[in-house]
Amino acid sequence: MQATHRLDAVFAALADPTRRAILARLASGQASVTELAEPFAMSQPAISKHLKVLERAGLISRGRDAQRRPRKLEPKPLAAATKWLERYRRLWEGRFQRLDALLDELKTKEKKWET
């Protein structure tokens, strides 16, 4: 059950466009709260709330560099979410392939009846 709660937290964190933008920024390297807040028209405390959500989901971690507390991206939770999504992608891809085959078969039968 623990894995399910972690996955729920990851998807809840990813549901917000600001948090996705923060993750995109962190994909290029560590950043401080001030650096992460720069492109957004919101207060630093509001950004900090978003960072807490991302930290609770395990998507980012806080480092220590003298006085700074830079955040960095943690790939493991994203890998777990990708694995979960991949299972369903393969399922639906298989279903669509079977549907395509059925449609091709029906088109072939229809052409035979027309001639």
pLDDT tens digits, one per residue of 36-92: 999 999 988 999 999 999 999 999 999 877 677 899 999 999 999 999 999 999 999
Q: Which of 63, 61, 75, 65 is nearest to 27 (CA)?
A: 75
Predicted local confidence at residue 113, as pLDDT:
83
- Could you tell me whether strands 60-62 and 71-73 are parallel, antiparallel, or unpaired per DSSP bridges? antiparallel
Predicted local confidence at residue 44, as pLDDT:
87
In this prediction, residue 14 has a pLDDT band, given cuts at 50, 70 and 90, of: very high
CB contact at 8 A, 69 and 63: yes
Question: What is the total count of domains within the chain?
Answer: 1
Indicate which CATH number applies to the domain containing 72: 1.10.10.10
Predicted local confidence at residue 29, as pLDDT:
94
> At how many degrees (to 10) do helices 44-56 and 17-26 cross?
80
Helices (H), the chain: 2-14, 17-26, 33-37, 44-56, 75-114
Predicted local confidence at residue 69, as pLDDT:
83
Report the alpha-carbon distance of residue 12 to residue 8 in Å, rounded: 6
The percent of residues above 70 in pLDDT, for the chain, comes to: 97
- Cβ neighbourhood burial of 25 (10 Å; 0-12, 13-18, 19+): middle
Residue 108's identity, in one-letter code, is T
Q: Which domain holds residue 44?
A: 2-114
